[in-house]
A and B are shown apart, each in its own frame.
Chain A
Amino acid sequence: QSVLTQPPSVSAAPGQKVTISCSGSSSNIGNNYVSWYQQVPGKAPKLLIYDNNNRPSGIPDRFSGSKSGTSATLGITGLQTGDEADYYCGTWDSSLSVGVFGGGTKLTVL
């Protein structure tokens, strides 16, 4: 059972938009920065979004992040088959002094 809650899977057609939610509490998402990671099976995770809504260099602006209260959202527009991967949200839990991740969301581009 992950501290952060994500939907197990989402799907959409190429060219469409999808959002992935990440729900937490005041001790984690509510008072800390959220980041998002993309993981292709068999590979290491890759940073996608940091500090709630910032993209590292090289990440296309099709990827966006937002945070409101104790929830965060990853948005992906103009879906491509290459976007098929597992997506994880992550943050710090200040009450527990531990890192926390969501359970991951598998994106399928139909």
Chain B
Amino acid sequence: QVQLVESGGGVVQPGGSLRLSCAASGFTFSRYDMHWVRQAPGKGLEWVAFIRYDGTNKYYADSVKGRFTISRDNSKNTLYLQMNSLRVEDTAVYYCSKYQGHPGYGHFDSWGQGTLVTVSS
């Protein structure tokens, strides 16, 4: 069965950096687009970033553009999110999600358990 396991969350000061990882198993990782979605405490879901199955196309939410970088290593079945210049408002649970289909014609069919990122001084 599909399994997505995020790691790398923690407490970081404003302006700091973190790299999240998402280890995938149970499916052919290299064939699927992947996304990061976050949820601030007590708030709704917020889409963060997308990466095409082969890594050739990436999109970002305006709120993270220029600060976050999504990447993947298909040889390691792992998705990454490099987060720089972190702000207090980036505090959230970060989920990686497997995407069935392609942007506009797809859906998030599997989600990890999430990893908490807390940005605080």
Contacts and interface: CB of A to CB of B under 8 A. Distances in A.
Interface of A: 2, 31-33, 35, 37, 39, 44-47, 50-51, 56, 86, 88, 90-92, 94, 97-104
**Interface size class, chain B:** 20 to 34
Contact of B47 (A35, A86, A99): A99
Interface of B is mostly: strand
A50 B45 contact: no
A102 B46 CA distance: 9
Nearest to A49: B107
A24 to B, nearest CB: 13
B115 to A, nearest CB: 11
Nearest to A45: B111
Interface stretch (B20-28, B78-86, B98-106): B98-106
A37 B44 CA distance: 12
Interface of A is mostly: strand
Contacts of A2: 44
Contact of A47 (B44, B103, B105, B108): B108
Given A92-B104, A104-B45, A47 B109 contact: yes
B106 A90 contact: no
